[in-house]
Structure 1
Amino acid sequence: MKHNLRKNLQRLRDYDEDVYNDVMKSNPRSWCRAFYKIDGECCEDVENNTIESFNNSIGKAREKPVLPMLETIRRLAMTQISLRKTKASNHPSKFTPYVQKILDEEHEDADICTIWPGTSGKFEVETVWDSERVNMTDKTCTSCKWDITGIPCVHAYGVILKRNLDPDDYVSDWFLTTRWRGTYNEAMIPLRVAGHWSRGDISLVGIPLEPPQPGRKKNRKKQKRKKGLNESPSKKKKNKRKNLKRKTQESPKKTQPKRTMHCKKCGGAGHNSRPCAKRAKRGHGKACASQVDQDS
């Protein structure tokens, strides 16, 4: 199978280099059967079909409240286990129907293969598309399918048919009907209605407390926020400053002497530049301080 992987990858590379690079980015060792970990569990399926089937069966139960939903799921599981127990008890073969289904699918290709015997239970098996080495003593094949699944592959089944061997002697014990029946020996116990259930020391579930809402806290007086150095003072502080300024202006003790204004144009004291500007417009030129006083 490793050889088939390399051959198919080379064919893909010859067809399109970009597609080959995209496939190699996904690390083919993680999804190629040739690199599966062989640990004796005899399972080649890597998917979530069981979970999808379970989710499909509890579709109507999800619409119910929590307790009725769990009770519906419990009854469905209990009924399904009972049906599987009856089916396993009535199965007459040594191995499960799954094994017979796989062997029936491989029978046509295994019947036309060619085998060459070797020593120590080893055989070279040639099919229409490839040839592999089979070890009937160790129950292994270079295709790795027999090692992973625990069920004879096409090459091993071809040796079994050509040598008139019993296929049941080369199937893993994981597929025994006795183990299948033992899986459903202990199932869920039927229960009475909720009124007959025993009560424990745990208190009943009540209404949960209202969670704290986001926003400003109500206890503003107790927890006042301190402003930073660069922040503007509050309105109360501004009003206090204004009141202090008024008090200082009204009190005679702290009054400051008035400034004597001077004109920028004539340099006279006691007036500004506006009267001088008016005199200049009338054609009298610059006005001195005495003239401004007379006009006023």
Structure 2
Amino acid sequence: MCVRHIYGNVKGRHGKKTELKKLIWWLAWSYNEAEYKERLDRVFNYDSEVFEDVMKTNPTSWVRAFYKIGNFCEDVENNSTESFNSSIVQAREKPLVPMLETIARLAMVRIAARDVKATEHKHICTPYVIEYLQEEHNKAANLEKRSCSCMKWDITGIPCEHGYGVILQKKLEAQDFVCHWFRTSTWRKTYEEGIIPIRGARFWPSSSAPSVHPAPDPDQPGRKKKNAKEKRKKGVNESPVKKKAKTLKRIMHCGICGEANHNSRFHKKGQKDGTSQIKASQGPAAQEI
């Protein structure tokens, strides 16, 4: 089960999903079931259709978390077969027997070259293991730098879980790798001098400098309220009001000439005619007004 081909098949059906490649490879690289479940949940939350297609491939057959213990192989792709196929390109187009003879010669040359390389290698483990262990050594060497690739240690000054694991493995004291700002000795220096008590303000020495007064209140946002004296002035043609029997009644004014007792509708017909018509229509109460 080659993850490279599984990803290619899923991508063919969901090509526009930008996070697809990262999610599938992270899922394949899970070393335990806890990581597997967490990363599988990320696939589901990203896209339910992608999740269904991934589950059809039976991830337990290509995720590291379900590898058989003792095989000591963590490969999740079929690169060894692809490498073999690329090396026999010149032989595949030949008839069967010449093809096998060509592959045999290629294999003999490869085996002889690898034999020389293996004979000259002086370490206990293979070059792959040496390189792998070197990376692990560099991680362990971060104890001296008090740094970790996760950056948590670098930012907080306190060992992260990765650094702490190495510290425990080496049987060292974790507190020795904490930033000096969090040491008890530094904490104590903060309060060494303290503050000397002084007497109250009435005993303070006087000065020739000007007295300090509170600052004026700043202007508040919004529209300022006007005082009673600053009320809005009424227009020339605006209707005045008066009180009668504790009620307010409006006097009609003309919008053209501004005169009372008629409006602009009756202005063209004459003020007197309009006045008489309005009084007649409104009754004696309007005449009193």
**TM (normalized to structure 1)?**
0.35
Larger Rg: 1
